[in-house]
Structure 1
Amino acid sequence: MSHTEKELSFREIITKAVCGKGRKFSQASHTISPTNKPSSILGCWIINHKYEAEKKGDVIEVRGSYDANIWFSYSNNTKTDVATETITYTDVVPLTMQDKNVLSDDLEVIARAIQQPNTLEATIAPNGKSVIVQVEREFLVEVIGETKVCVYVNPDGCVDDLDDKSWDYDIEDEDFEDLDPNFLMGDLEE
C-alpha cells in the first residue's frame, strides 16, 4: 500500500464535542436574622434557584441565587412566621478533564445542578436571635467546543456483513404444530 493510499484511509472530521468536564459538591452556612426572636425552627425550604455558568481560565464559575425560607415560632412558641432571604453564591468548578486540542475560543458551557440546593439543618444561633442554615448543592459542568477527530475510512466503502438470506424470516406450517391454542386464554373452567 502506498503512502497516498494509507493517507486516504483516514479522514479528519471537525465536530463539536465535550472538551472539558468538572464536578463540584459544596456545603455552605448562612446566617439569617428574622424580625422576631425565634423560639423554635419549624422548617426550612430552599426555593427559586437560578444560576449561570461561565468559563474563566481553566475553571468554570457557577454564579447563582436561591431563597431560604425559614418557618419558625416566636413569643414562647405562641406565634409563627416565615423569614425569607435571598442568598447569592459563586462555585468555582475545576475542569478535571480538558481537551487542549480545541480549535476555537467559541465555547459553550453547560452546567447542571445534579443536587439542587437543599437544607441540611437549620438551628437557632448561640445569640438566640439568628438562624444558621446549612445548605448543600452539587454541579456537573461540561465545556463544548470544536475539535478534530480522526476516523478510519474503509477503502471498500460500506460492507454489509449480513447477506439478504440472514434477514429471511419465512415461517413454515410445521412451526405452528406445537403451539397451545389456549395459551392466552388461561384456564377458563375456574
Structure 2
Amino acid sequence: MKHLRQIVTKAVIAKGKKRTESCEVLCPPNTPSSILGCWVINHSFQSKKHGKYVEVVGKFDINVWYAHHDHSKTSVFTETINYKDRIRLHYRDSDSTGEEVHVRVIQQPNCTEAIIIENGTKFQVMVERELLAEVVGETKVCIQVHEQDFEEEWAFNEESSSSSSNSSSSSSSSSSQNHGHDQSSSL
C-alpha cells in the first residue's frame, strides 16, 4: 500500500545570473602619457528582492597607474564606481514562504581593457562582473512511505560497566569477588 507524505523544507526555489560589461570614463588630474596598469578592488554590494528580480546595489574602486608629464612622473588615479544590477529570477517553485536572497559573485569586477581617450585627457576602462542570485524559501516535497510490519533487527554489542562511590579499597575487594564475571548481565 502506497502512502504519500508532505515534508516542509527549505530549498532553492529561484535562481538568476547576470554578466555585466560596463564602460567607465575617468578624468585624472594630469594629462596621461601612457597607462602602466589598471586593477579593480574593494568590491562590496547589497541585495534585495523586488518581485521577480533581485536588485544588487554595489560599488568598486578602479585604480589606474599611469605616466604623465611626458613619461617623467607616475601616479595612481582612483575612482569609486557605483552600480545597480537587476537579476531576473527563474522560479522552480512559486508556492513558497519565508524567502531569503543569497547573492554570490561568480566573477569579481575585473578590468578587461584600459585606454586613453578624448585627446589624451581621459581613461576609458572596460569592467566585467558576474553575479548569481538564489532565493531560498520554504516549500513542500512529497515522499513515498512504505509501511513495515516489522522492525528491522538491530545488532547491539553488549556492554557493561559498574561504578562505585565507595573508597578504592572497597571497590577492589568487590572486583576481586567477581572473579572477572559480570554480575549486571543477569538484569
The normalised TM-score by structure 1 is: 0.76
Could you give the per-residue CA deviations for residues 125-178 of structure 1, whole angstroms, max 9, x where no partner exists?
123211010000001110000111111111128997xxx9xxxxxxxxxxxxxx
Amino acid at match of 1:58: K
Alignment match, 1:127: 119
Structure with greater strand share of residues: 2
Q: Which amino acid is 2:30 matched to?
A: N
Partner of 2:52: 58
Aligned position for 2:171: none
Out of 53, 56, 70, the position equivalent to 1:76 is 70
What is aligned with 1:40?
34
The structure-2 alpha-carbon separation of the partners of 1:117 and 1:148, relative to structure 1 and needing over 3 Å to count, comes to same
2:148 corresponds in structure 1 to 156
Query: In structure 2, how many angstroms separate the alpha carbons of the residues matched to 1:111 and 1:142?
Result: 6
Structure 2: where are the runs of 5+ without partners?
156-187
* RMSD value, Cα: 2.1
Q: Does 1:93 align with 2:83?
A: no
Deviations 1:86-134 (A, max 9, x none): 00101111112342111x2x31111111000000001001232110100
Query: In 1, Cα distance between the equivalents of 2:18 and 2:71?
Result: 39
- 1:45 is matched by which residue type in structure 2? W
CA distance in 2, matches of 1:80, 1:157: 83
Please tell me whether residue 117 in structure 1 is matched to residue 109 in structure 2. yes
Aligned equivalents of 1:157, 1:43: Cα separation in 2: 74
Q: Any gaps of 5 or more consecutive residues in structure 1?
A: 165-190
Match of 1:21 among 15, 23, 36: 15
TM-score with structure 2 length normalisation?
A: 0.77
Q: For residue 39 of structure 1, what is the amino acid of its counterpart?
A: S
Question: AA paired with 1:114?
Answer: I
In 1, Cα distance between the equivalents of 2:120 and 2:91? Answer: 46
How many residue pairs match? The answer is 155
Q: Which amino acid aligns with 1:129?
A: T
Identity %: 46
2:134 matched to which residue of 1? 142
